Structure 1
Amino acid sequence: MGALWFEFYGTAHIGAIHSLVTAYLVAASALGLGLAGVVIDAGTELEAQA
């Protein structure tokens, strides 16, 4: 996937684009865990979540 970024966006701002995507991935993983915790607290079984 990383090689496609050079094709789509060029090389001028690839560092900024990579860091932005990485920040979004970290935030999404944190939000996913928080959401899973809220759903577990609401009484939903893990099998139903999957």
Structure 2
Amino acid sequence: ASDGQCPCTLGYAQKAEACVLKVYEICKDGRARNQRGECLDHKQWKQYCSQQ
């Protein structure tokens, strides 16, 4: 749960006054999920990793 002062931790979303676990769709077409829950393909991963 959140006191409204801090955002929910990674993998959780704000729902009313609580933080709840996010449920993600399955990544398809050879994509894989990053820490933010985004499905990335090989090209997107190269760009993502170069910016981290």
Same fold (TM over 0.5): no
Greater RCO, 1 or 2 (C-alpha within 8 Å, sep 6+): 2
* TM interval, short-chain normalised: under 0.3
Structure with the largest fraction of helix = 1
Larger Rg: 1
Q: Tell me which protein shows more strand as a share of its residues.
A: 2
